[in-house]
Amino acid sequence: MTSAQSATATIFARMKAGNDARRTSFGLAERRAALDRLADMVRRNETAIIAALRADLGRPEAEAVLMDYLNTLQEIRHARSHLHRWMKPRRVWPTLATLGASGRIEVQPRGTCLIIAPWNLPFHLALGPLASCLAAGNAAIVKPSELTPASSALIARMIAETFPPDLVAVVEGDKVVAEELLALPFDHIFFTGSPAVGRIVMAAAARTLASVTLELGGKSPVIVGPDADLKQAADWITFGKFLNAGQNCISPDHLYVHVSVKEGLVAALRNRIARAYGNGEASPHLTRIVSPGHAARLAALIADGLDKGARVLLSGGQDGQAVGPQLMEGITPDMRLAQEEIFGPILPIHSFDSIDSVIDAINAREKPLALYVFDRDAARIAEITRRTTSGAVGVNLTLVHYSQLNLPFGGVNGSGIGAAHGHAGFLAFSHERAVLRNRFLLLPILFPPYTPRVLRLIGLVKRFLG
C-alpha cells in the first residue's frame, strides 16, 4: 500500500467509524450549519472559482457564474430551506392486512459516501451532490476530475479550510486513485460522467453492495416540428448546444427538423450563432474544449463525417482547444457523429417528414438523458412524450429543467440510475426505513396451532381480502 493509499484509507476509516454517532448527533441544526458553511465557502471564493474555470476551460465569467457558482448556491439554499420537512418521519395509511398497526417512514443517512465529479462543471457537480449528501446527514469523500487541475486544487483547499476531515475530505488524483477509492466499502457512490465509466463504477459498487446514483449522458435529441416558432427554437437550441461549448450531459446532441421548416430553421440558427459567437472559435463568449485530446476527438468526428459524405452548413473553425459552432447535415448511421455522444459544439441536423420515423430512431438508441421538442401542436408534443422514454423532456426550451430543483434530475438505464437535485438528491443519499408499530393487531388469532377454528377464520380472511 502506497502512502497515498494509506492516507485515503485512514480518512475513510475515520468517516466510517463515525457513522453510528452521526445518526444521533448530526441532526437538523448540525446539517443546516454544515450547509451554511458550504454556502459561505462558495461565496467567499467566487473570484477564485471564476479564475479556476478560466484556467481549466477558458470559461467566460458569465457562464462560470451561471453554471457553477449560482447553481451550487441554489442547490444549497433549496436543501437548507426544505430540510426540516424532508427529515420528518412520514405517516402511512394502514392496509387491510395491517389494521391495528401504525406505520411510518423514517429517513436515515446512508453513512459514508463517495462523490466522483466530472470536469465539465467541476464545482457544481462536486459541491451540488455534497449539499445533498450533508443534508441527508452523511460524511463524504469528494474526488474531483484530474482534467481540471485548477478547479480540483481549489475544491481541495476550500473543503480542507471548511470541514473537519472526518466529515468531508477531498482526494485528488487520476484513474488509479479513483480505482483505489472504488475498492473501499462506501455506503453510497454518486458518480457523474460517461456511460462507459458508469459501468465500471457500478461493477465496483457491486463488489461491496454499495448503492449508486449514476448521472450519465447519451445522445439527447431535439425535435423541431412543422408548427414550431423558429426564432424561439433557434434561440434555445443555440443556447443549449453551445453553452460550455456543448460539454454538458444534457446538451442537445443532434437535431430532427421537419422538411417544411428546415431552411428557415437553419437560417435562424446561423443568425443566432453569429450574434452569440461571431466568427466562432475566437469568441470570448465560448468556452474552450477541456483538453487537446478531447479537441482532437471532435476534429476526428468531423473528418469522419466529411469522408463519408456529410456536409458542413456552418463551420466556426478550430484552433487547438478553441472549437467554434459547427452545423452539419447528411449524417448517416455509419458515421461516428451518429454513433457517439458528441459532447462538443457540433450539431448534426436531420430532416424528417414523418414523426414516426423520428420516434423510431430515438427508440432504437439508449434512452436519452433529455429530449427536447419545439412545436406549438399540443397533440404532436403529447404523442412524442407518450411514445418515447427519457430522463426528462423539455418543451420549447433546453437545459433549464436542470435548474428546477423541485423536479428530479436523472436518466434511464444507459443515461443514468437514480436521481439528484432537491428532494430527489436528499433521498439519493438517504435510506427510507419502514417502521410498523403494533397497536391492536388481530393477527395473533391466526397464529398456530391451526385448529379448525383458526382454519375457519383464515377462510373468512381469504374471502374478505382475496
Residues labelled as active-site residues: 215, 249
DSSP secondary structure string for all residues of 38-101: HHHHHHHTHHHHHHHHHHHH---HHHIIIIIIIHHHHHHHHHHHHHHHHHS-EEEPPPGGGTTE
Nearest CA-CA partner of 33 in 167, 171, 189: 167
* Planar angle of CA 314, 318, 322, nearest 5 degrees: 115
- Taking the C-alpha atoms of residue 383 and residue 381, their distance in angstroms, rounded to an integer, is 5
Nine-digit cell string for 399: 437545459
* Planar angle of CA 400, 403, 409, nearest 5 degrees: 95
- Taking the C-alpha atoms of residue 408 and residue 423, their distance in angstroms, rounded to an integer, is 8
* Planar angle of CA 56, 60, 63, nearest 5 degrees: 100
What is the number of alpha carbons within 13 Å of residue 405 lying toward its C-beta? Answer: 22
Going 79 to 84 to 85 to 90, the CA torsion angle's sign is: positive
Nine-digit cell string for 236: 434555445
Nearest CA-CA partner of 304 in 344, 339, 270: 339
- Taking the C-alpha atoms of residue 18 and residue 166, their distance in angstroms, rounded to an integer, is 8
Task: Report phi then psi at 431, rounded to 5.
Answer: -110, 125
Peptide bond into 449 cis (omega under 30): yes
Which residues, listed in sequence order, are joined to residue 256 by a DSSP beta bridge?
223, 350
First to last CA, the chain: 60
DSSP secondary structure string for all residues of 236-248: HHHHHHHGGGG-S
Q: Are strands 90-92 and 101-109 parallel, antiparallel or unpaired?
A: antiparallel
- Taking the C-alpha atoms of residue 145 and residue 436, their distance in angstroms, rounded to an integer, is 44
- Taking the C-alpha atoms of residue 216 and residue 451, their distance in angstroms, rounded to an integer, is 58
Nine-digit cell string for 97: 392486512
